Amino acid sequence: MPLQIGLLVFPHVTQLDLTGPAQVFSSLPDVAVHLVWKRIEPVPSDSVITLTPTTTITDCPQLDVICVPGGFGTDELMLDEDVLEFLRKQEKGAKYITSVCTGSLVLGAAGLLKGYEAATHWTAVDALPFFGASVSRQRVCVDRNRITGGGITAGIDFALTLVSMLIDRQAAEMIQLRMEYNPAPPFNAGSPETAPAEVLAAMRERVAPAQARRLEFVRRAVGAST
């Protein structure tokens, strides 16, 4: 039976959180990659790209890997009981419970990160402890069968890491080579630890309203689960 991998699709998902891992996973032989949402209809991402689910949360088979990508839409997703129950149900039979970026907060809202270390986007690290998770600033965090990636571009690193665990290192390296994934960013501004101070300050100011909104949803999600 093919390996069953499912990535959650939802309104205002960050498409690279999803499409980066999907590209990696789709390179595997004997694999079925599912894009899962409530309905089979186009879903707007947080960019110009629209994504089309391939199955619904009702019809989705038991997955070997469930992955929740991030994006602005994860705020509402933390309060979506249909999605949270789907994740709890899949968790019982899945080999790996995973996320990219702020998708980890949705896993947290489903109660699936309590007692685990997890990564997320650098602007969301203060939200993880609300769900009983400890914060990792690794680009890919592996804690037992929870594998969580940092922000957006870390999704490719996460997926390659997971392939090395599902198959072996050579399989992951062959996919990396096929994708010519050999990053050489033009600037050393890809994390708050390395970005110039003025760039970090400007970005913190820009994202502050979204951070405040996210924390309000986190508090509501925690309150709903108690």
Coil vs helix vs strand at 144: coil
Lookup result for tokens 């949402």: 37
Rounded (5°) CA angle 144-147-152: 165
Show which residues are catalytic.
101
Rounded (5°) CA angle 138-79-105: 5
To 10 degrees, what angle do helices 15-26 and 154-166 make? 30
Rounded (5°) CA angle 170-166-172: 30
Q: Are strands 50-51 and 43-44 parallel, antiparallel or unpaired?
A: antiparallel
Is 35 in contact with 9 (CB distance < 8 Å)? Answer: yes
